[in-house]
């Protein structure tokens, strides 16, 4: 697609940043959007089909791979991929033991799922930006079909995962602390006073600050992942534009893309790790009963 003369640089970037969207058109019929404007006009009920497909597909790969390695696990010295998988499991388990101070058998499996699943989604960013869209265009028969292959660059996926973590935070806060204890946590901190009349004056301020901080957690969790991965994808797209700017710039762009891909391996791993660690921290706070 980078070599198509019919596309300007702006068209090329816009095309790669537009999701394959299914929803209701303004005239009432349901179908796929044929432009970024049509996708935005579909509103809230539209579905990003490509983000949903790739996230579910990568989740299935994660489940299949770890199930297969679990069946091969033995008491001897592991080798090859099994050794690597056990290292990942031990790494995540060690972080959970260091950070999470409650007792909940769900946390470690969930942390492992988050780390590997987010890593797999981020890893799609290392595939050359034109390869899968080109394949999809030939399969669909539409030379202008949209296809975004990095689910974590879609704010709906990143914020959706963050909202799931937020729901668990509220659930365990109510379960461990009880409704009264949770309300006290939101109204009696951080400002307190021994005088009950002064404390009553602090309640609205405490409630505002605590609720604001509570709501900021899922937003910061999701937007951090989305922002970093979106920026990385944008750099890959901008480098790909150089392939249509002549032989010299094309060769230079190839070296740039290789260098950025090597550096991006650290970025995608770090973002998966940060998402996992913050999830463990937030759930650990939900299990603390002061």
pLDDT for 7 equals 67
- Active-site residue identified among 51, 95, 228, 286: 228
CA 3 from chain center: how many Å?
Answer: 31
Residue 124: inside a domain, yes or no? yes
Q: pTM of the full predicted structure?
A: 0.89
pLDDT for 128 equals 87
**Beta-bridge partner residues of 21:** 48
Domain that holds residue 273: 9-286
pLDDT for 5 equals 46
In the chain, alpha helices (H): 9-16, 36-41, 49-72, 80-99, 107-123, 131-140, 155-187, 196-240, 247-286
Q: In whole angstroms, give the CA distance from residue 46 to residue 21.
A: 6
Query: What is the SS3 assignment for 202?
Result: helix
Residue 4: inside a domain, yes or no? no
Nearest-CA neighbor of 100 among 88, 110, 87?
Answer: 110
Residue 133: inside a domain, yes or no? yes
Inter-residue long-range contacts of 234-237, CB under 8 Å, 24+ positions, other chains counted: 234/13, 234/17, 235/260, 236/125, 236/129, 236/260, 236/261, 237/12, 237/13, 237/16, 237/17, 237/129
Residue 126: inside a domain, yes or no? yes
pLDDT (tens, 9 = 90+) of the chain, 290 residues, equals 444 445 688 888 888 888 999 998 888 889 998 888 888 888 888 999 999 999 999 999 999 999 998 888 877 777 788 889 999 999 999 999 999 988 889 999 999 999 999 999 999 999 988 899 999 989 988 888 899 999 999 999 999 999 999 999 999 999 998 999 889 888 888 888 787 888 888 888 989 999 999 999 999 999 999 999 999 999 998 888 888 777 788 888 888 888 988 999 999 999 999 999 999 999 999 988 76
Structural contact between residues 46 and 39, judged by C-beta atoms closer than 8 angstroms:
yes
Residue 199: inside a domain, yes or no? yes
- Active-site residue identified among 220, 244, 284, 286: 220
pLDDT for 37 equals 86
pLDDT for 3 equals 44
Annotation says 95 is catalytic: no
Element (H, E) at 47: strand 47-48
pLDDT for 4 equals 45
- Number of domains within the chain: 1
pLDDT for 2 equals 43
Annotation says 224 is catalytic: yes
- Active-site residue identified among 104, 156, 224, 244: 224
pLDDT for 120 equals 96
Residue 2: inside a domain, yes or no? no
Annotation says 103 is catalytic: no
């Amino acid at each position: 697609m980078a070599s198509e003369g019919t596309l300007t640089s702006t068209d090329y970037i816009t095309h790669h940043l537009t999701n394959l969207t299914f929803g209701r058109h303004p005239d009432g019929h349901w179908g796929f959007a044929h432009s970024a404007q049509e996708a935005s006009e579909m509103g809230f009920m539209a579905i990003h089909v490509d983000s949903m497909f790739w996230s579910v597909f990568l989740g299935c790969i994660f489940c299949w791979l770890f199930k297969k390695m679990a069946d091969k696990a033995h008491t001897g010295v592991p080798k090859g991929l099994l050794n690597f998988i056990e290292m990942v499991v031990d790494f995540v388990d060690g972080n959970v033991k260091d950070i999470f101070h409650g007792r909940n058998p769900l946390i470690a499996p969930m942390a492992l799922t988050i780390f590997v699943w987010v890593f797999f989604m981020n890893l799609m960013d290392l595939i050359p930006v034109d390869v899968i869209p080109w394949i999809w265009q030939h399969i669909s028969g539409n030379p202008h079909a949209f296809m975004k292959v990095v689910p974590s660059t879609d704010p709906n996926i990143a914020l959706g995962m963050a909202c799931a973590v937020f729901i668990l935070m509220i659930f365990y806060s109510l379960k461990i602390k009880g409704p009264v204890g949770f309300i006290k946590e939101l109204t009696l901190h951080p400002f307190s006073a021994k005088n009950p009349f002064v404390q009553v004056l602090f309640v609205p301020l405490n409630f505002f600050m605590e609720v604001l901080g509570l709501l900021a957690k899922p937003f910061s969790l999701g937007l951090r992942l989305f922002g970093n991965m979106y920026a990385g994808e944008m750099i890959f797209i901008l480098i790909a534009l150089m392939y249509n700017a002549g032989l010299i710039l094309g060769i230079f762009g190839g070296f740039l893309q290789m260098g950025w891909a090597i550096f991006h391996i650290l970025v995608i791993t770090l973002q998966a790790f940060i998402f996992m660690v913050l999830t463990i921290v937030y759930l650990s706070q939900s299990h603390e009963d002061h």
